[in-house]
């Protein structure tokens, strides 16, 4: 069955970067895009963007351009999202998703000094 | 961006009862391919959102027929009949017709 296993929680300092992962299994990795979604209590669910896992092509929500960088490693069926220049507003749970139906378990990123 | 207005914010219900959740979009969700990409999710406490309904009215695999979706254009409804304890949580609508994808703000289904 389709599974998306995300990396563990992150605690980061303001101004730093984090890179979280999303390892896919149960299907042909390069046949589906991987999307990334941010969830906060205040802003709800926000769409960050997606990566074409075959070509590496990306789409970013304008709001997250310069904040998020999406990459893939086809050899390990893993998608990555790097968040840079972190501020407390980046504190959130981040999900990866394949299409509409399969989501990872989420990664809590906490930005605090 | 397409604004998704979801109501109500909170929805008290008696077990066994029936409820409806509304989701309205700021522009038509009919795609140029003729499909309407409006989906419904349930997020239970501590879990990821799980897909219930895709493309307005199609139940995802394993979703009971107590859940039904309807609507067109800019106006959509999720109906839940014979509410069970496992149905409690926050419901979200999502449109994927237009980029960026946008979500409703959520409806919390709770016991009356």
Q: What is the pLDDT along chain B (112 residues), one digit of tens a residue?
A: 999 999 999 999 999 999 999 999 999 999 999 999 999 999 999 999 999 999 999 999 999 999 999 999 999 999 999 999 999 999 999 999 999 999 999 999 998 8
- Find the Cα–Cα–Cα–Cα dihedral A80, A86, A88, A92, rounded to 10°: -10
Distance CA B109, CA B86 (A): 11
Distance CA B29, CA B31 (A): 6
Q: Which of B48, B100, B102 is facing A106, going by the closest CB pair?
A: B48
* Pairing state between β B4-7 and B58-59: unpaired
Query: Are B18 and B67 within 8 A, CB to CB?
Result: no
Q: What pLDDT does residue A100 have?
A: 87
Q: Is there a cis peptide before residue A79, judged by omega within 30 degrees of 0?
A: no
Residues of A near B (Cβ–Cβ under 8 Å) read 35, 44-47, 49, 59, 61-63, 95, 100-101, 103-106
| C-beta atoms of A101 and B54 within 8 A | yes
Q: What is the pLDDT of residues A99-112, one digit of tens each?
A: 889 999 999 999 99
Nearest CA distance, A7 vs chain B (angstrom):
14
Instruction: Output A81-84 pairs: Cβ under 8 A, ≥24 positions apart.
Output: A81/A19, A81/A20, A81/A22, A81/A36, A81/A48, A82/A17, A82/A18, A82/A19, A83/A17, A83/A18, A83/A19, A83/A20, A83/A109, A84/A17
Give the count of Cβ contacts less than 8 A between chain A and B: 39
Number of other CB atoms surrounding residue A87 within 10 Å: 10
Q: Which of B47, B54, B102 is facing A47, going by the closest CB pair?
A: B102
């Amino acid at each position: 069955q389709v599974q998306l296993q995300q990396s563990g929680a992150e605690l980061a300092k303001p101004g730093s970067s984090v890179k979280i992962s999303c390892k896919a299994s149960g299907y042909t990795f390069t046949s589906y895009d991987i999307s990334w979604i941010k969830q906060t209590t205040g802003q709800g669910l926000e769409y960050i963007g997606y990566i074409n896992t075959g070509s590496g092509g990306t789409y970013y929500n304008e709001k997250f351009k310069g904040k998020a960088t999406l990459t893939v490693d086809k050899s390990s069926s893993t998608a990555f999202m790097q968040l840079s220049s972190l501020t407390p507003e980046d504190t959130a749970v981040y999900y990866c998703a394949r299409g509409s139906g399969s989501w990872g378990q989420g990664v809590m990123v906490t930005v605090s000094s | 961006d397409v604004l998704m207005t979801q109501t109500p914010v909170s929805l008290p219900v008696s077990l066994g009862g029936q409820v409806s959740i509304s989701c309205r979009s700021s522009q038509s969700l009919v795609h140029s391919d003729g499909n309407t990409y409006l989906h419904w999710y349930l997020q239970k406490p501590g879990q990821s959102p799980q897909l219930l309904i895709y493309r307005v009215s199609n139940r995802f695999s394993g979703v009971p027929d107590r859940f039904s979706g309807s609507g067109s254009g800019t106006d959509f409804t999720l109906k839940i009949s014979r509410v069970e304890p496992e149905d409690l949580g926050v419901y979200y609508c999502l449109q994927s017709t237009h980029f960026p994808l946008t979500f409703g703000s959520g409806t919390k289904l709770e016991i009356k």
